[in-house]
Structure 1
């Protein structure tokens, strides 16, 4: 599942309760209208509108019955005339006030479905129209042009609706309009087109077009600055940039709120028009691409209450430049460069902010030093965010005196020392805390009762153990809990699953927590991410929550078979590696259509993989469409089991697959020729230690992204296809364009290294690569590993010259085969190869002198071949360790590092014998010797990893 779809689910879950509250608030504000009985023609128009509504989950129109439409919910009539003047049918989405809208990127749970009837045109006296948050459009259905006919409208709110196509220019006819809100979610397909009609709305005071793509409106600055009465201008996420040349002086003199966040602004010229507007209270330029120094002109904006510049690359940010900001309530500077001691920065803020400042975010700004003990002088701070900096020393006890503090983020610093109850003594308002990734020890008594009720409790890599922190028992409102890598070596308390039944994100990984998993977790209806890996948990895989997206219970002691159906149809990551799970893989796996990562490695699974055919029993049981066979898998990791059968047929439905790891199993048969056609994105193919036979398919060359191919320890025969020299990804060797398949996105509320809306990468697994004569595990560095490993097979023939074309290779291993002929003369072109192993073959001839050109070479093994002549010298070859073992078993080689002199009688004798054997005799004896030697050295294929 991609970030956008996951985010939608998270938002829906996070704010369902808030929506109910918002619904009650909105309806309370609407009242019953007022005035006398409504006019019959207008009542008929409203009923016609109601007839066009196909779904009304919030029952907004439930009261629309009877003759007096002025008493209907959402309808407002004039006190004297009885005409309908207001229609407020806003769906319950999230409004903290009239200037803030949060749109769903899918269908809002409380939004009406249907269409807007043109019968509303009978409401000729309509002044106020709010249909926001409802879904009254659809694919191919643009915003109705007749909305431009309500000439009396002063308020129009169509935010967060699902119209398609361009905005109707007829909206320019609404010359009395003072409030216009067309904000939408950024994935919306609506393309506004030319919005020059805005110039006709000269009375506008509020304009919100956030999320609309306005990139085609190049002269937008001149357009909006002509609206002289504007107080609120919100154009967040519109793809806008500011011209590098300053615009002519603006006509706006009353602007109070300017939001240009999440755009493409890359510079803020000191001469820009908005610096001159002294009335601006809120300036939002966050999440742009702004570089350069902090603009001194900003210091003249003395009315500023909110300044958000986070998510840019501004340098030289100094608090002294804000000395005139006495009204400042909200200061957000994250990801810019302060490069200053925190105490110095805080001292540079004006004294008046000690009572006015509510929100301070200095995350990832490279502030240093310690948190000053007088931080509590900012007595009204509600949110203090100092994540991802270089702060060191103790967390001052004075933080516990900041009675208004609700959010405290100190994660990913270099803080140390102990944190006790005293640090939280007066924090009754605390809801969100993140102390993760520091060197602190949380020493809180088990009988302590906190004064707060937390929403987020994040303590990753903070030492809380060895006992389980019992003070968490009272935190039943926690939605995000992270106590991973916290040194806990205790049993999971009986109350744990009950107390944290509301969590959306739960991470207790990398401890030594014992306990048995409950039979079902279905009661955790909000759970999106459960990370329990690397503990001592036992039991069977439980029934999973309905909306769960990520489950990681790897490296525990789960046992028994996988359930035939285990729930969680929206799973995107299922990681159960390194357990004791047995039995077969159920066909229910095929029904997880959003599944991206499946890791069942290092278990005791047996049997064949499910076919995932159209007629699977699981599909019928779940009443799913029989043609929904395409899967989203990007990584399938099944190594170290006892799985059998042929190459998995169901992979033909996995076109997104990047990593396939089937090593250490008992798969048999030939590699299918459809791999390249059906798995076009495949980058890493690990099949070592199986029973695959047949030849290497030449179709593999069509895999343009294939970077690592490991067929070692199988029964592959035939020759090495010369066409493999055309593997593009091994030629380019450029890691920047490839994705690491061991990395996938998962949701975490905050992260120490990055700020990207809650979606972060997770390096969970590692890929075992035999390189340099040893087994090495790659995780984050896998993207740099490019290699071919055909060792321990039955390959014969020559090493094709075309292999020298794979200049991006770092690992090349053809050892333990029956290869003949010479080492390719151009082998030296492989300048990035770090490990080259051609041992235990029947390769003859001289070692090419170009071998000394392989500047990255740190491991070389040419032992037990029929090589002859002088060993090349120079460059990298002189630095290799244990040099004699590199060439052992080649009786016709001479020169350093061997003791055999190339000009002595012994070398002449061996040289003549070598020539004789090559020209006069058939190498039948050598073949027999090689076969015996190969047999003795090759581990038994297909054994279960636990018995090896």
Structure 2
């Protein structure tokens, strides 16, 4: 799998430009390769190679299988001098060359299929070695530096150590290789290792060096790098992309680089193009790459002096007001990239500004995302030599001119994400016999191609997403058997998928036909799509069973369809990374085969009819084997497990202990039971979203749950959880941040999309998650990464709401309703300034509503109903705007003030002195109660010890009682009162 890091002609990035060997070295190398050795290799050198082989721990491509026998000159990758028998070339490069041999893909560790191990110092015995190429093999690793001893093989003229996963500093001993013509140390940018250098002065000793590539090596601490590289007079190719370099704003430096032809400074920290920079003087430069920097301002006039330029890449900067007249003298220009800058000009005016010589010479023009306006000019047909035209993501309007059909050399036409309209017919493509890539997606154009049209081209990329193509299936695609990327999603197709579709696309890598009304069954032959890596079929009307999947498949989304029946016990696709099947009618149990998908990152089986317990997926005895063996728990890459809205049962899944990267877990709306585990904080350190609502979990909330520093959304509503909220909520650091986007949020990095290849758009998991907020069920897509909340509602929790809850400043949702909480609402609850929904209803809370609640200006839902709250309702601008304001206080009989009709008896108090008044009232009530108790006790004591007082008191009661009886029953005789008095 290629790691995309930069853009390049015909391919995306993490690409290493393999430096072309000079005519002399190529001729020498060819002679070595072409000759047959007339004598056996030297024994000491054979022994050195065997020692090197011993240091290899893995050779999946079996490159070294031929390294046996007496004559090492016949071994794979080894070339000897025909006269002397000395080994002069060792070439064990492991790279995936695609389309153009100048482009090599750096592969991530574990996917390259290259050699693994350590480089043996036995190579020192090869003192006649001129050519050493070990690029693309994983012979490095964390803490493994480039071997210093390589600087002692002084016969080397070619050294290629690119993409080898080395770590640490570049050894200055490489400066001893005074005969070196070509040096390639390119580092893989996206890896756990970091190759760097704080001093490159050793380069000055390589006086014969013609090509240097240190792309990806961190050189950011070297301020005078320009002075060092410009004193190497023979340099022809200099590639320092993604090195963290900047250019000092200083006067012009003298440069010895009179032979420089290629300068690659892609992806650095250059922020301006000073007209005095050294490279403007090198007038023979043919290729200049300054793309993906931070360059602001205007393009200097000095660019017009570089008349030898053939390739100019300035894309992905902050240039403004770029004028085509600046390129008036660049008559050799054949490749121009200005994408992602601010041209901000009418396209017709901009195109007319190019000189005639450029129009006839230019082969590739990329003006994507440059804020071009207006129409595509009809004069575009004059650019007959253009093979690549990219105009995506701007503000182009109107119809696509028919003149494009006369650009017979066009291989790539990219017009997506504009405001183009009108019809697109066969006439637009009639003469485009070389067309290989066509993208019209996200334009309201109407594709009116007849069903019997046979195109003259053979597309490799066909992208029509969000255009008007339906209602019938595009039958002209039947002849496009070279397609490896197809996107006809959301095009209004209401049709049965034709039988030929899956056969014609047998070599496709990416298919997206989602968001249509395409019906039919998935074919049993789906497994024979041997190149398929991404299939997005969601939101259609597919029925039937899920068939066996292609072995190469990495991503499958067939959600929102009508698949039925059980999941197959073994559905293939061992490399599967995302499996999204939600909202179907799949029944039965989840097969244990899921446990074997060790590369799985996202598994979504929600909203189906699944039953039973989850597979154990844990280490244990394999009953099928006689010996005691263990089953690999697998799923170590799992980031999201989404199973809501099924009928799954059992306890909390134990196998998740072996998924340390888990970020999102949604088991809601099932029948899970048992207590919540205490091991999550240790085993699931990146857990950010835990949704368990509507299950039968019981027991208390584990204290360990408060140790989940990344946890930002916890929903355990509608369970049988009891006990108190554990202390330690302040440890939930992800909930205690005000910022909407946390840089350490693991969900953002894991769900950011993973490209499968350079040409395939990345699938991003962003389907909807159900969250109950603001009193209703809401659906969140990828914006769930911004959601921070606690929902403990509908359980048996008791005790007080901890004051610590006010320290979770990032909370947007807090719901503890339908429990048995007592005590007061925390006074500092107003510190939750980002709170949008607060529900404390149906508890036993008492006391006054804190006035700090009025400080929460973001609050849009509040429910305090059915508690024992009392006192005046705080008045605040935000509280007065809430809808249905009376119902949020209902069931609290002692609340008063607006919006309730009950008025408060005492004068309204302001927020400023409210706390002081509360203190005074409390002291008054305490004094009255103490006086009452003391007085009553004195009366009891007197009655107990003074008989005369006691007799007189009861006689008084008798007289009062007789008088009361005469009042109550005046028609009855006096004896009635006596009988009542003397009664029991």
Q: TM-score, normalised by structure 1?
A: 0.84
Say yes or no: does 1:175 pair with 2:178.
Answer: yes
Q: What SS does structure 1 have at the residue aligned with 2:398?
A: strand
Aligned-pair CA distance for 1:578: 0.4
* Change in CA separation of 1:64 and 1:296 when aligned onto 2, cut-off 3 Å: farther
Say yes or no: does 1:308 pair with 2:313.
Answer: yes
Say which of 550, 554, 560 aligns to 2:555.
550
Aligned-pair CA distance for 1:112: 7.0
Larger of the two Rg values belongs to structure: 2
In structure 2, the residue matched to 1:798 is 800
Structure 2, gaps ≥5 residues long: 16-25, 907-924, 930-984
Aligned-pair CA distance for 1:109: 6.8
In structure 2, the residue matched to 1:879 is 881
Q: What SS does structure 2 have at the residue aligned with 1:439?
A: coil
After superposing the two structures, state which structure 1 stretch, 594-603 or 523-532, moved more: 523-532
* Change in CA separation of 1:688 and 1:138 when aligned onto 2, cut-off 3 Å: closer
Q: RMSD in angstroms over aligned alpha carbons?
A: 4.0
Say which of 441, 446, 449 aligns to 2:446.
441
* Change in CA separation of 1:149 and 1:396 when aligned onto 2, cut-off 3 Å: same
Q: Distance in 1 between matches of 2:556 and 2:730?
A: 40
Q: What SS does structure 1 have at the residue aligned with 2:764?
A: strand
* Change in CA separation of 1:505 and 1:747 when aligned onto 2, cut-off 3 Å: farther
* Change in CA separation of 1:554 and 1:345 when aligned onto 2, cut-off 3 Å: same
| Contact kept in structure 2, 1:35 and 1:70, CA below 8 Å | no
* Change in CA separation of 1:348 and 1:14 when aligned onto 2, cut-off 3 Å: closer
Q: Distance in 1 between matches of 2:460 and 2:849?
A: 67
Say yes or no: does 1:735 pair with 2:740.
Answer: yes
Q: Distance in 2 between matches of 1:108 and 1:773?
A: 48
In structure 2, the residue matched to 1:912 is none
Q: Distance in 1 between matches of 2:151 and 2:89?
A: 16
Aligned-pair CA distance for 1:547: 2.7
Aligned-pair CA distance for 1:445: 0.8
Say yes or no: does 1:494 pair with 2:496.
Answer: no
| Contact kept in structure 2, 1:720 and 1:795, CA below 8 Å | yes
Q: Distance in 2 between matches of 1:29 and 1:499?
A: 43
In structure 2, the residue matched to 1:257 is 262
Q: Distance in 1 between matches of 2:75 and 2:676?
A: 73
Whose relative contact order is higher, 1 or 2, with alpha carbons under 8 Å and at least 6 apart?
1
In structure 1, the residue matched to 2:646 is 641
After superposing the two structures, state which structure 1 stretch, 103-112 or 206-215, moved more: 103-112
Q: What SS does structure 2 have at the residue aligned with 1:233?
A: strand
Q: What SS does structure 1 have at the residue aligned with 2:528?
A: coil
Q: TM-score, normalised by structure 2?
A: 0.81
Aligned-pair CA distance for 1:629: 5.0
Q: What SS does structure 1 have at the residue aligned with 2:886?
A: helix
In structure 2, the residue matched to 1:228 is 233
Aligned-pair CA distance for 1:548: 1.9
Q: Distance in 1 between matches of 2:171 and 2:734?
A: 49
After superposing the two structures, state which structure 1 stretch, 847-856 or 299-308, moved more: 847-856
Say which of 442, 462, 468 aligns to 1:457.
462
Aligned-pair CA distance for 1:477: 1.3
Q: Distance in 1 between matches of 2:726 and 2:35?
A: 87
Say which of 521, 530, 544 aligns to 1:516.
521
* Change in CA separation of 1:228 and 1:27 when aligned onto 2, cut-off 3 Å: closer
Say which of 891, 894, 913 aligns to 1:892.
894
Structure 1, gaps ≥5 residues long: 16-25, 751-755, 905-914, 920-948
* Change in CA separation of 1:652 and 1:205 when aligned onto 2, cut-off 3 Å: closer
Q: What SS does structure 2 have at the residue aligned with 1:788?
A: strand
Per-residue deviation, residues 307-342 of structure 1 (Å, max 9, x unmatched): 011222223322222221111100011112211111
Per-residue deviation, residues 403-442 of structure 1 (Å, max 9, x unmatched): 1111111111111111111111111111111111111111
In structure 2, the residue matched to 1:466 is 471
After superposing the two structures, state which structure 1 stretch, 379-388 or 166-175, moved more: 166-175
* Change in CA separation of 1:794 and 1:27 when aligned onto 2, cut-off 3 Å: farther
In structure 2, the residue matched to 1:417 is 422
* Change in CA separation of 1:874 and 1:181 when aligned onto 2, cut-off 3 Å: closer
Say which of 379, 401, 422 aligns to 1:374.
379
After superposing the two structures, state which structure 1 stretch, 458-467 or 174-183, moved more: 174-183
| Contact kept in structure 1, 2:93 and 2:137, CA below 8 Å | no
Q: Distance in 2 between matches of 1:394 and 1:749?
A: 34
In structure 2, the residue matched to 1:720 is 725
Q: Distance in 1 between matches of 2:800 and 2:39?
A: 94
* Change in CA separation of 1:117 and 1:758 when aligned onto 2, cut-off 3 Å: same
Per-residue deviation, residues 590-619 of structure 1 (Å, max 9, x unmatched): 222222211110001111112221127599
Q: Distance in 2 between matches of 1:569 and 1:426?
A: 43
Q: What SS does structure 2 have at the residue aligned with 1:867?
A: strand
Per-residue deviation, residues 768-793 of structure 1 (Å, max 9, x unmatched): 22222221111233233222222222
Say which of 770, 773, 781 aligns to 2:775.
773
Say yes or no: does 1:104 pair with 2:111.
Answer: no
Query: How do 1:203-352 and structure 2 match up within 5 A?
Result: 203-215=208-220, 217-246=222-251, 248-352=253-357
In structure 1, the residue matched to 2:942 is none
* Change in CA separation of 1:618 and 1:206 when aligned onto 2, cut-off 3 Å: farther
Say which of 408, 411, 414 aligns to 2:413.
408
| Contact kept in structure 2, 1:246 and 1:269, CA below 8 Å | no
Q: Distance in 2 between matches of 1:82 and 1:217?
A: 44
Query: How do 1:571-610 and structure 2 match up within 5 A?
Result: 571-610=576-615
Aligned-pair CA distance for 1:883: 2.4
| Contact kept in structure 1, 2:692 and 2:717, CA below 8 Å | yes
In structure 2, the residue matched to 1:710 is 715
Q: Distance in 1 between matches of 2:712 and 2:128?
A: 68
* Change in CA separation of 1:99 and 1:660 when aligned onto 2, cut-off 3 Å: closer
| Contact kept in structure 2, 1:70 and 1:84, CA below 8 Å | no
Q: Distance in 1 between matches of 2:326 and 2:725?
A: 68
* Change in CA separation of 1:628 and 1:585 when aligned onto 2, cut-off 3 Å: closer
Q: Distance in 1 between matches of 2:86 and 2:507?
A: 44
Q: What SS does structure 2 have at the residue aligned with 1:762?
A: coil
* Change in CA separation of 1:344 and 1:748 when aligned onto 2, cut-off 3 Å: farther
